Amino acid sequence: MFMPINQWAEDDRPREKFLLKGKVALSDAELLAILIGSGSRNESAVQLCQRILGSVHNNLNQLGKLSVQQLTQFKGVGTAKALTIASALELGRRRREEAQEEQPKITTSAEVFHLMHPLMGELPHEEFWVILLNNSNKVIYKSQVSKGGITGTIVDTRLVFKLAFEHFATGIILLHNHPSGKLQPSDADVQLTKKFVEAGKHLDILILDHLILTEKTYFSFADENLL
């Protein structure tokens, strides 16, 4: 007997299941059902998606090759639903393509300088950035976390570690620039670095370096044994 999704037990409804148990708990059909939103009078969205997947032997790569016209041949799938499925699978393909691109691996402070100087080296104001790395010291993510004036910027350590957790980073490189061209770290720079290092120890996230960038060169806390 057909039963609409809204009459299912809450744990079995795709959207509620996603929120309660996380995306990995959902089958391919359930994830597709969230995308299309509804089925037909005699078939739930999940059952419809199971039927679509069954036609390609539950192979998502094969599903991604179906055209919009082919998808609309399934009863209950109009142009809008077909476009939604095709668009989601195309995003997945592009994500895989990006993941295959080689991530830069950081082994020296000079490599950090060359990576970040185009973004920070000639700024007329101070900015604080972080580079997040995996356990192979490959760059996962880089981001500006604060922007200040000519002489300083305020950094929230909680925000930095929140980013690290979100991206599953095991190491962090801190960076900020000195528009004045002065390389020596200030007392505030030293204290902030110590604060990050101590917090990182408790959270099992290493602070690998802190660089101060100027227009032409840089200062590395790691190179100077100040971590």
Domain extent, residue 150, equals 109-220
Provide the 10 A C-beta neighbour count for residue 66: 19
In a domain, 226, yes or no: no
Q: What is the pLDDT of residue 78?
A: 94
Q: What is the pLDDT of residue 40?
A: 81
Count of domains for the chain: 2
Same domain, 123 and 34: no
- Choose among 71, 101, 75: nearest CA to 84: 71
Tens of pLDDT, residue by residue over 66-108, are: 999 999 999 999 999 999 999 999 998 888 776 655 678 899 9
- pTM given for the model: 0.58
In a domain, 227, yes or no: no
Q: What is the pLDDT of residue 9?
A: 47
Question: Is the distance from CB of 141 to CB of 167 less than 8 angstroms?
Answer: yes
Provide the 10 A C-beta neighbour count for residue 143: 13
Amino acid identity, position 181 = G
- Provide the percentage of residues in the chain whose pLDDT is more than 90: 63
Average the pLDDT over 180-185 and give the result: 88
Residue whose structure tokens are 């000519």: 150
Q: What is the pLDDT of residue 10?
A: 44
Q: What is the pLDDT of residue 156?
A: 87
Same domain, 41 and 143: no
In a domain, 211, yes or no: yes
Residue whose structure tokens are 């795709």: 14
Kindly tell me if the per-residue pLDDT of 50 is higher than 90.
Answer: yes
In a domain, 104, yes or no: no
* Token pair belonging to 109: 């402070």
Of 53, 70, 99, which closes a domain? 99
Q: What is the pLDDT of residue 147?
A: 84
Average the pLDDT over 171-186 and give the result: 92
